[in-house]
Structure 1
Amino acid sequence: MAGASLLTLLDDIATVLDDVALMTKVAAKKSAAVADDVAAMTKLATKKTAGVLGDDLALNAQQVTGVQADRELPVVWAVAKGSLINKMILVPAALAISFFLPWLITPLLMLGGAFLCYEGVEKLAHKFLHSASDDAAVHAAHTTANADATRDMVTFEQDKIKGAIRTDFILSAEIIVIALGTVASAPLLQQVAVLVGIALLMTVGVYGLVAGIVKLDDLGLWLNGKRSAVAQACGRGLLVATPWLMRFLSVAGTAAMFLVGGGILVHGVPFLHHAVEAVGAAAAVGSFAGLWSAVTTNGLNGLAGIVTGAVLLAVVTPLLKWRAGKA
């Protein structure tokens, strides 16, 4: 009897171990599936937020204009830390909205898309809305800041940093809201993982690239001072290419703002979304059917973004002028 009981006990232990192994295997599969889902959603959210990224890069690179060359990287680092604090506020707020007020996500997305379109049109119309004297005054303030011995450069830097962090808060809010829209139906833990991942990725990516961009001209000057003809040629090339890179980032960022903002708005209005899809499907002909469909769909999204931004600009500009005049 004792032997039979021992064998029964061993059999029970073996069964338990088999069950544990099976559950561990299932859990591992589920964890891998969750990791794949998080990676896929993070990739999708990154694509969705790309419209803000180009503008974010150009804008933040321009924020350090007028800062002494040896203080550019410390200023970028200070703004990056401020950006992390912004996202530490925005990510929990977005998750709270998703948990308690999920119906608010779509209106917030629409507002974010509308703001992107408005900002894009405002950039295009800048030369008509701002006089040449205003632009000249800003440029003069930047170029003379370092030469003015009486100017408090610490205060100047702090003003730059505070302004850049305020701008970053708006751009970060757009990024977080757009990313939240892509994971709104996912479980809470996956939402947390995606939003935190996007926040860190965008901060490190944007400000890492900004740090590199603002030092390209210094690298060009350094190479231009070398004895090697190849180094000098590379240096001159960088000095010529850097302004063009800034312009390209600005243009690409503006175009992406219309595409992303317009796409959000079109997707939020069912009849527009179906109409754009129908036109895109009708354009899918010939050997490059997929390409023509994508070009048509994105073109219509961009057109919707431009029209929306123009309408908002026509409404907001008189209000801003009236408010400024009243003040």
Structure 2
Amino acid sequence: MATGLLALLDDVSALVKVSAASLDDVPAQVSKTTGKVSGIVIDDAAVTPKYVVGLDPSRELSIIFQIAKKSLVNKLIILSPAALLLGFFAPWAITPILMMGGAYLCFEGYEKVHSMFSKHHTDDAHQSPGEDLKVITPEELENTRVKGAVRTDLILSAEIVAITYANVAEQPLVSQIAVMLAVAIFITVAVYGFVGLIVKADDIGVHMAKENHHPQVRKIGRGIVTFMPHFLKILSYIGTAAMLWVGAEIIAHGIPFTSHALDDLEHSLAQIPVLAWFAKVLVSGLAGLALGAIIANILSLFRKAA
């Protein structure tokens, strides 16, 4: 009896040591995974501010908190367990799911580019005199914006979780769970903390520009207020470009031929890392734009046929 108890304690001790060793590696795995999903993180941070532009400034942080909370719930309660289950029961399904998400990002990116250049982009000047405008309350507009942001975030979060799982698939289960939880929390806090700082930057600038501050502080404050509208526009362009680049690269890595082609392109310019990265991003972005256009045209044909 005593021997059996000692053997059990030895097994428990060994399990604890293995788990501890796995957990010691978590920070390195989190750092490695965060680097791999950096494009999606940029996309998420760049796209989200547009959902609070034009709303009541006093509600901006509340709206961002709502989106962040739902994003974290999606990552922790829905997507991470789903990735673990898929990885155990149907690991073959992860790559196709990633590719479908990538196709959606390309489609969304193309739609944004198309809206930027289309002469028929929504504009009050094109409103017919007799056409009725749909009137909604500020609360309804806020709810609509939050739903739109959460829908886009769900796709991006699914990509983040899937890439995270793929990065730790060979690790022990304890390490997988720890890394996925850490990445989900870290990225959500980082992205939405940054978004909150962006949308409140103009308020910070206004506060700094008040007369009771030093002239240099007031000058910086006025500069922030002047610069932020331009920064938000630039950020929207970056978000669209990142959407196309990330979507196409996810799809490319799911197809051996295109994955090797991208790797060969990067290796051919390895002596100039910045140029290698830029070439890879440019090729992925253009491919994403072309793929998005194809998907948009196919969907348009289906709508006409329906």
Residue in 2 aligned with 1:118? 107
CA contact (8 A) 1:50 1:256 kept: no
TM-score under structure 2 normalisation?
A: 0.79
| Per-residue deviation, 1:111 | 2.4
Residue identity in the other structure for 1:168: D
Asked if residue 272 in structure 1 is aligned to residue 252 in structure 2, the reply is no
| Per-residue deviation, 1:303 | 1.0
Residue identity in the other structure for 2:95: T
CA contact (8 A) 1:80 1:207 kept: yes
| Superposed counterparts of 1:100-139, under 5 Å | 100-129=89-118, 131-132=120-121, 134-135=122-123
Asked if residue 66 in structure 1 is aligned to residue 22 in structure 2, the reply is no
| Per-residue deviation, 1:206 | 1.5
Residue in 2 aligned with 1:175? 160
- 1:125 partner SS: helix
Is the radius of gyration larger for structure 1 or structure 2?
A: 1
Equivalent-residue separation in structure 2 for 1:109 and 1:326 (angstroms): 29
Residue in 1 aligned with 2:194? 209
Residue identity in the other structure for 2:96: P
| Per-residue deviation, 1:94 | 1.4
Equivalent-residue separation in structure 1 for 2:136 and 2:263 (angstroms): 57
Asked if residue 223 in structure 1 is aligned to residue 203 in structure 2, the reply is no
Equivalent-residue separation in structure 1 for 2:265 and 2:40 (angstroms): 27
Residue identity in the other structure for 2:209: N
**CA spacing shift, 1:281–1:217, aligned 2, 3 Å:** closer
Equivalent-residue separation in structure 2 for 1:34 and 1:52 (angstroms): 27
Equivalent-residue separation in structure 1 for 2:253 and 2:54 (angstroms): 41
| Superposed counterparts of 1:1-327, under 5 Å | 30-31=18-19, 33-87=21-75, 88-129=77-118, 131-132=120-121, 134-135=122-123, 152-228=137-213, 229-284=215-270, 289=271, 291-292=272-273, 295-296=275-276, 299-300=279-280, 302-320=282-300, 322-323=302-303
State, as a whole percentage, how many aligned pairs show the same letter: 39
Aligned residues: 290
Listed one character per residue, the Cα deviations across residues 27-65 of structure 1 (whole Å, up to 9, x for unaligned) are 787455423432222222212222122221222211112
| Per-residue deviation, 1:322 | 4.8
Listed one character per residue, the Cα deviations across residues 84-117 of structure 1 (whole Å, up to 9, x for unaligned) are 2222211111111111111112222222333333
CA contact (8 A) 2:87 2:94 kept: yes
CA contact (8 A) 1:121 1:306 kept: no
Gaps of 5+ in 1: 1-15, 138-149
Gaps of 5+ in 2: 1-5, 126-134
| Per-residue deviation, 1:161 | 2.4
**CA spacing shift, 1:238–1:302, aligned 2, 3 Å:** same
| Per-residue deviation, 1:301 | 5.5
**CA spacing shift, 1:55–1:264, aligned 2, 3 Å:** closer
